[in-house]
Amino acid sequence: MLVVVKKNHDEVSREAARVVSNMLREKPSSILGLATGTTPLDLYNELIRMYKEEGLDFSKVTTFNLDEYIGLPPSHPESYHYFMYENLFKHINVPERFIHVPSGMVDVSEVHRINRFCEWYEEQIVRFGGIDLQLLGIGANGHIGFNEPGSSLGSRTRIKTLSENTRKDNSRFFDNDMDQVPKYAITMGIGTILDSKVILLVASGKNKAKAIKATVEAPITSQVPASAVQMHKRAILIVDEDAASQLDGTYDEFVTNLE
């Protein structure tokens, strides 16, 4: 696991964008696993800038998003479909037909339909050749995607019940009204994430320090789903000094290559 500590959030975003753009220049038909949340926003802004100013090409790229809330249509401003189109897809030249975001338009009682959809999503990832680079944020509780504490380390794409912590963290996007915050989501599993060729986890801010400590310097446990990245061959964590503030070890300052 390569841990890179940068001064602040902006530097984290730039370094992570550099890793993604290096991969795209090396393999223009990369399969990217993408994440939502506040953390990757500036990374996406940097990729958009590179597309506009430096000719970074997404025309052969395929994307798979990690997760989506159940019950929110793609037009809902808090759906992850909407987030991805607004903050990345509509600004770059990725072909619409290569974009994949789990569908949240299912009824939680339709278990078979949800299971079939989740199997289909996994099959699509395999059909396109597997994810080359999976981008991850991390929850203050150590979740990745919506794999909440207690998620099996071998889990695949499935429906998950969101923890109260996560719902409270995300209520800021729903007028702080817990009744509006979805209770369920479809998420790639930890096993799905670990199948990616490269994992790129980004974190910034003091509120992530405990989760980063538990991810990097504590035993692997399903109670901290992000700690599973310790098992991955090519996991890169890029964190700012605040998120790294509880780490005891000495870490790197930049990513030299993707190996």
Does an H or E element contain 22, and which? helix 9-26
Please report, for residues 76, 79, 183, 242, the alpha-carbon distance to residue 70 in angstroms, rounded to integers and kept in the order given: 12, 9, 8, 33
- 37 touching ligand PGA, by CB under 6 A: yes
Structure tokens, 138: 């991390």
Per annotation, catalytic residue among 42, 141, 240, 242: 141
Per annotation, catalytic residue among 11, 15, 67, 195: 67
**Of the candidates 203, 194, 257, the residue with the CA atom closest to the CA atom of residue 42:** 203
From candidates 39, 79, 134, 147, binder to ligand PGA by CB under 6 A: 39
Give the nearer residue to ligand PGA in terms of CB position, either 13 or 30: 13
Give the nearer residue to ligand PGA in terms of CB position, either 197 or 208: 208
Q: How far apart are alpha carbons 39 and 116 in whole angstroms? A: 31
- 38 touching ligand PGA, by CB under 6 A: yes
Per annotation, catalytic residue among 81, 143, 232, 240: 143
Please report, for residues 53, 64, 84, the alpha-carbon distance to residue 17 in angstroms, rounded to integers and kept in the order given: 14, 17, 16
Only one residue has tokens 């393999």, namely 27
| Residue 78 annotated among the catalytic residues of the structure | no
Structure tokens, 197: 């060729």
| Residue 242 annotated among the catalytic residues of the structure | no
Give the nearer residue to ligand PGA in terms of CB position, either 94 or 211: 211
| Residue 141 annotated among the catalytic residues of the structure | yes
Residue 110 beta carbon to ligand PGA: minimum distance, rounded to whole angstroms: 26
- 13 touching ligand PGA, by CB under 6 A: no
| Residue 76 annotated among the catalytic residues of the structure | no
Q: Binding-site residue total for ligand PGA (CB under 6 A)?
A: 6
Q: Which residues contact 126 (CB under 8 A, 6 or more apart)?
A: none
Stretch 139-168 residues interacting with ligand PGA (CB under 6 A) = 139
Please report, for residues 27, 44, 58, the alpha-carbon distance to residue 51 in angstroms, rounded to integers and kept in the order given: 15, 10, 8
Q: Which residues are catalytic?
A: 67, 141, 143, 148
Note the residues at the interface with ligand PGA (CB under 6 A). Answer: 37-39, 137-139
